[in-house]
A and B are shown apart, each in its own frame.
Chain A
Amino acid sequence: MGETFRQSMNWLHTWSGVVLGSVLFAIFWMGTLAVFDKEIDLWMAPMTRVALPAGSISLDAQRATYQEAVTARAPTWNIFLPSDRVPMVRTFWFGGTGVAVRYSDPANGANLPDPGTLAGSGFLYPFHYTLNIRFLNLGLWLVGLASMGMLALCVSGVIIHRKIFVDFFTFRPHRKTQRAVLDLHNVFGVLGLPFHIAITLSGVIIFFMLYFPSGWMSVYGGQNLRTFTQEIYRSFSRPRLNKPGGLASLDAMADIVRRLWPDQQLASLTVYYPGDAAAYVQINMSNSDRVTNSSNSAYFDGATGTLVGVQSGLLPTMTAFRFIFGMHVIQFDHWALRWLYFVLGLVGCGLIGTGFLFWLESRRKRHANLRLAGVRIVEAIATASVTGIIIATLAFFVANRALPLGVVNRAGLEVWMFYAVWIASLVHACARPGRSAWREQCWIMSALAVLAVLLNAATTDDNLLRSLAHRYLWPVAGMDLVLLAGAAVAAFAALKLGVVSDTAIPSSSTGEERVENA
Chain B
Amino acid sequence: MLDAALLAGLFAANYCGLGLLASSQAKHWPHVTGTSLNPRRPTWLVRALGCGLLAGSVVVAVLRQGPGFGSILWCTSLSISAISVAFTLTWRPHWLRVMVAPLLAVARA
Contact = CB atoms under 8 A, between A and B. Distances in A.
Contacts of A170: 27, 86, 89
B83 A191 contact: yes
B77 interface: yes
A114 to B, nearest CB: 37
B90 interface: yes
A194 B68 contact: no
B69 A341 contact: no
Given A168-B22, A172-B90, A347 B83 contact: yes
A290 B68 contact: yes
A198 B90 CA distance: 28
B80 interface: yes
A170 B93 CA distance: 11
Interface string B10-30: 000000001000100101100
B36 interface: no
Contacts of B83: 187-188, 191-192, 347
Contacts of A347: 79-80, 83
B82 interface: yes
B75 A195 contact: yes
A327 interface: yes
Interface size on A, as a range, is 20 to 34
B37 to A, nearest CB: 14
B73 interface: yes
A166 B27 contact: yes
B85 interface: yes
Interface string A282-299: 000000001110000000
Interface residues of B, number: 24
A291 B68 contact: yes
Nearest to A196: B79
B87 A171 contact: yes
Contact of B73 (A167, A187, A340): A340
A515 interface: no
Interface string A193-235: 1110010000000000000000000000000000000000000
B63 interface: no
A187 B72 contact: no
Contacts of B69: 290-291, 332, 334, 337
Interface in A140-176: 166-173
Contacts of B27: 166-167, 170
B68 A169 contact: no
Contacts of B68: 290-292, 323
Given A291-B69, A347-B83, A169 B76 contact: no
B99 to A, nearest CB: 14
A169 B79 contact: no
B86 A340 contact: no
Contact of B77 (A188, A291, A334, A340): A340
Contacts of B77: 340
B54 to A, nearest CB: 13
Contacts of B73: 334, 336-337, 340
Contact of B79 (A171, A194, A323): A194
B25 A191 contact: no
A148 to B, nearest CB: 22
Contacts of A198: 75
A168 B21 CA distance: 10
Given A166-B27, A336-B7, A344 B86 contact: no
B75 A169 contact: no
A341 to B, nearest CB: 7
Contacts of B18: 169
Interface in A310-339: 323, 327, 332, 334, 336-337
Given A171-B87, A194-B78, 13 more contacts: A169-B22, A169-B85, A171-B86, A171-B89, A172-B90, A191-B79, A192-B83, A195-B76, A292-B68, A334-B73, A336-B7, A336-B73, A340-B80
11 contacts: A169-B22, A169-B25, A171-B87, A187-B86, A192-B83, A194-B78, A290-B69, A323-B68, A336-B7, A340-B77, A344-B79
Interface of B: 3, 7, 18, 22, 25, 27-28, 68-69, 72-73, 75-80, 82-83, 85-87, 89-90
Q: Which 6 A-B pairs have the closest CB atoms?
A: A291-B68, A191-B82, A340-B76, A169-B86, A169-B22, A171-B90
